[in-house]
């Protein structure tokens, strides 16, 4: 019985080897076919735009936003000392930040130990001092925390300018690129020159015109697809 078992085992080994080779060949062929499919999908179009199907756009929640003139909001962040009445915070700003701040601007204030309680405030005074400026923020209600210093987030809107959402811009090799919709489902890269960068939007100095649609959410996927075409 031992000899019969070993004889059967000897016959099974070549069969297993052949099945293993066949499986490897099958996987290789299947992988090559999938790779060819990817190459077909990412083959350059004559205008070098990248095509995105409706199903892909739905999966990515692809979002387009218009390049438009809008206020660019910049938050100046600093800390200052609160007074005895616990309603006024005074802080010192450098010249670059001070140039953005003016009386009447909105402020969010909170103790550094916690952000669970925010206080609304307004800039009520800006006093230049050489290359700096002292700013005073007045809270709309008395602060309850015992902290002697408060964080100030001053909301400034220094200009209105042609802009796009920050997430639309991709940095590539020192350049700034957005993907512009050339036609429904087709997007082409466009190098731009940027100016002021705000909390939500970035100023466009060159490369886009008002009304053009740029990809915001999903731009990195399209960028990756586009770069595949270069190989």
Residue-wise pLDDT for 153-176, tens only, equals 999 999 999 999 999 999 988 899
Give the start-to-end residue ranges of the domains of the chain: 1-41, 46-70+161-228, 71-159
126 or 13, higher pLDDT: 126
Is the separation of the CB atoms in 189 and 47 below 8 Å?
A: no
Least confident of 5-9, 115-119, 205-209, 215-219: 5-9
pLDDT tens by residue, 86-100: 999 999 999 999 999
Residue of 98, 87, 80 whose CA lies nearest to 138: 87
Interval 20-56: pLDDT, tens:
545 544 544 454 444 444 334 444 455 567 777 667 7
CATH 3.40.50.620 at 46-70+161-228, yes or no = no
Fold of 71-159: Elongation Factor Tu (Ef-tu); domain 3 (2.40.30)
pLDDT at 9: 47
Write down the pLDDT at residue 145.
Answer: 92
Residues 8, 14, 18, 19, CA torsion sign:
positive
């Amino acid at each position: 019985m031992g000899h019969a078992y070993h004889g059967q085992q000897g016959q099974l080994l070549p069969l297993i080897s052949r099945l293993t080779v066949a499986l490897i060949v099958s996987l290789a062929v299947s992988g090559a076919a999938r790779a060819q499919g990817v190459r077909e999908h990412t083959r350059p179009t004559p205008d070098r735009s990248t095509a995105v199907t409706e199903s892909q756009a739905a999966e990515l929640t692809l979002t387009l936003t218009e390049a438009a003139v809008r206020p660019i909001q910049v938050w100046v962040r600093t800390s200052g000392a609160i007074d005895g009445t616990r309603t006024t915070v005074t802080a010192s700003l450098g010249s670059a930040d001070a140039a953005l701040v003016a009386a009447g601007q909105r402020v969010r204030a909170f103790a550094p130990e916690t952000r669970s309680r925010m206080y609304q405030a307004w800039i009520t005074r800006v006093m230049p001092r050489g290359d700096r400026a002292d700013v005073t923020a007045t809270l709309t209600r008395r602060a309850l925390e015992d902290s002697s210093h408060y964080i100030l987030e001053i909301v400034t809107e220094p200009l209105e300018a042609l802009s796009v959402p920050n997430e639309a811009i991709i940095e590539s090799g020192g350049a700034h690129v957005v993907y512009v919709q050339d036609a429904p489902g087709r997007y082409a890269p466009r190098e731009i020159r940027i100016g002021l960068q705000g909390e939500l939007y970035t100023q466009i100095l060159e490369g886009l015109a008002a009304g053009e649609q740029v990809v915001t959410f999903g731009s990195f996927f399209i960028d990756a697809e586009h770069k595949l075409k270069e190989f």
